[in-house]
Chain A
Amino acid sequence: MPQITYRKAINDALAEEIIRDENVVIIGEEVARYNGAYKVTEGLWERFGDKRVVDTPISEAGFIGMGVGASMLGIRPVMELMFWSFAYVAWDQIINNAGQVRYMSGGRIHCPIVIRGPANGGTGVGATHSHTPENFIANTPGLKVVCPATAYDAKGLMKAAIRDNDPVCVMENTLLYGETWEVPDEEYVIPLGVADIKREGTDISFIAHGRAVITALKAAEILAAEHGIQAEVLDLRSIRPLDEEAILRTVAKTHRVVLVDENKPFCGVSAQIAAMIQEQAFDDLDAPVQRVCSLDAPAIYSPALEKIQLPTPERVVYKALQIL
């Protein structure tokens, strides 16, 4: 099976969907002639032209809102945010307009829009460029949010997001864009709301999404090599809709859980997962649910400290050993 980068996997998904559906249009800052700030849209403008791949001014509120309005008419815009951190200047358009218009119209309108881009820290760009707003989005009924951790998932989830008739936020990761995974040539789509076991294990469950899945996998390798402990790694892939059954299955299997989450801990995604586990699987637990999140301060610039502010395999191992 071919090995391709996370970046190329998304690029392929976009190209395939542009070809499949004439209403799919890629819109964002630098997506066309510049080939994308992170080269995710490389070559698409050259292949598909001005109508299908559109450069915007630096106007997130304006162009995201424009995409929402166009989606109400049946266009399927795939909007790139150069960083999800920039979503905050378009927040009214995303939360109030994309998120609420179906409800407030009593189901008369829907918005088949995708808003995508990287949402991660760890790149030395400071607090304004390092936000991970998947918990904010997931807190808004009407919106959906997915956080792919691998190239395979990024491609399959992106295709599902574009075909979905509700607004879907896809949160990517600049630290993963250059990483490679096996991705088949044949077409596939990964449904939203289906988690994936990335590593089978019997002793403890690590539940994560996005790049935290990679951190959890590294921690699992350390635990196996140094302690003979087999950790299971469950990748949520999709935050809303959420695969609760997969979470309950792994808890019932291992009885111990560490949640790994690049969100800040207070009201982060893992807070919701922890609440859900204690409500629905209390009797399956042999130990309190543990969490490893980003350290609870704005994202620090200093590279030496930024590394430890994000969840690390060592912190995951430490927390795991506390409850084993």
Chain B
Amino acid sequence: MISVTEEEVAIDPADYAQAKINKSLSSKDKIGLLREMLRIRRFEQVSLKLYNQGVMAGFLHLYIGQEAVAVGTISIMGDNDHVITAYRDHGHALAVGMGMNECMAEQLGKATGCSRGKGGSMHFFDPDKNFWGGHGIVGGQTPLGLGLAYGLKYKGLKGSCFCYMGDGAVNQGAYHESLNIAALWKLPVVYVIENNKYSMGTTIDRSSAMRNCLAERADGYGIVWDIANGEDLYEVRAKAQNALERAHKHSLPTVLEIDTYRYYGHSVSDANAKKYRSPEEIERHKAHHDPIHLWQKRLVDEGVMTDEEIEKLDESIKNEVNAAAQFALDSEFPAPETIFEDVYWEVDNNTAAGSTGRHFFGD
């Protein structure tokens, strides 16, 4: 079993800025990371506004507070690294480079949406950007992430699959089955547990038995695990890089638990601070542990950006989001006949296999 490498040990845990993956960042790169986090936050704030206006159906699971996890981990990825996540998927979608227009339009169920209005907020996909969703069932994506890693290894590609999940998903059987197979077959999958402390309205101490942390359960499978502070972008990147290298160089899995916090409810319709946590707890995180504010402060301290430049960047992002919202509002709903499209590949592509027998029933 590959344990923590010498290089990993050599990093001063107090200063992940010195990790190789972070030292190589240019000022432009650092500003880019801020831009990505701000884009997620502003996108979701406008999404919430639209939801409250009643133009969006179903659920809205906001990622606000967790932005450094998706942005930090995805920022280190290369051409053969893949991403799959659960229903709190806007952050990962934007971080892999999906456009705001198509994401916003999807939430409104419009034909211009990334899934042509068929998936909604929980089901964003863009395989061209190695992004495989957006999955609605807690833990259901964990075997799929395993399969993407299996596929990469089968094809002989040096890559990885980062499979994201919440702390509530760690008690699903499919996840444990996946860990067993990942270890058994040495598959390059990285399970990223985004531990925001609450599985819907149930606190972690009421849902998960553990010794010290959730990732430590990986010990039982002989899988290397680590834990990271999700408010520190440098630390997230450094520890994700270790996992990525373990996948690339040794074709081995990792469980990486990232400590984080969501400001809004499990979905925006839940009781949130009224039932299972205090408003003070949320305010404390916003004031002292916000990953975007901390990164902004870091960039100012490092002399990368001034407060005015940050303000200007934020304004441009707000404009981008507002334009995306307008695009979504102005877009058409899908035509009724599209209900029967995208069900079967063979039918959509008018192949011989798609033309024998009846595929759809009823009227």
The interface of chain A, by Cβ under 8 A from chain B, is 23, 25, 51, 56-57, 59, 61-75, 92-93, 96-97, 101-110, 112, 141-142, 144, 160, 163-166, 191-194, 238, 240-244, 272, 276
Contacts and interface: CB of A to CB of B under 8 A. Distances in A.
A157 B126 CA distance: 32
A61 B118 CA distance: 25
Interface in B306-362: 341-346, 348-349, 351-353, 356-361
Contact of B345 (A106, A110, A272): A110
A62 B353 contact: no
B341 A61 contact: no
B125 A191 contact: no
B265 interface: no
B174 interface: yes
Contact of A242 (B113, B148, B348, B357): B357
A96 B119 CA distance: 12
B164 interface: no
B150 A61 contact: no
A61 B132 CA distance: 19
A61 B342 contact: no
A108 B178 contact: no
20 contacts: A57-B180, A57-B181, A59-B180, A62-B146, A63-B177, A65-B143, A65-B174, A66-B143, A68-B143, A72-B144, A73-B155, A102-B343, A102-B344, A102-B345, A103-B342, A104-B123, A108-B127, A141-B360, A165-B351, A166-B345
Nearest to B159: A73
B148 A73 contact: yes
A70 B143 contact: no
A260 B84 CA distance: 44
A272 B360 CA distance: 12
B99 interface: no
Interface in B111-158: 113-119, 123, 125-128, 132-137, 140, 142-152, 154-155
Nearest to A107: B342
B184 to A, nearest CB: 7
Nearest to A144: B344
B178 A62 contact: yes
A194 B345 contact: no
Contacts of B150: 66, 69-70, 75
Contacts of B128: 108
Nearest to A193: B357
A171 to B, nearest CB: 16
Given A65-B144, A141-B360, A194-B356, A107 B348 contact: yes
A70 B342 contact: no
Interface centre among A64, A70, A93 (most CB of B within 10 A): A70
Nearest to A63: B181
B82 to A, nearest CB: 8
A106 B134 contact: no
A272 B357 contact: no
Interface centre among B147, B154, B346, B360 (most CB of A within 10 A): B147
A51 B154 CA distance: 8
Contact of A92 (B140, B181, B348, B356): B140
B97 interface: no
Contact of B147 (A51, A71, A103): A71
Nearest to A93: B143
Contacts of A70: 147-148, 150-151, 154
Given A62-B180, A67-B147, A105-B134, 17 more contacts: A23-B154, A62-B177, A65-B147, A66-B143, A70-B148, A72-B148, A96-B137, A101-B133, A103-B119, A106-B118, A107-B116, A107-B341, A108-B125, A144-B344, A163-B353, A166-B344, A243-B357
Given A66-B181, A70-B154, A108-B125, A61 B143 contact: yes
B173 interface: yes
> Top 8 A-B pairs ranked by shortest CB distance?
A193-B357, A69-B147, A65-B143, A62-B177, A241-B357, A73-B151, A107-B342, A106-B116
B24 to A, nearest CB: 30
A257 B202 CA distance: 56
Contact of B177 (A61, A73, A242, A243): A61
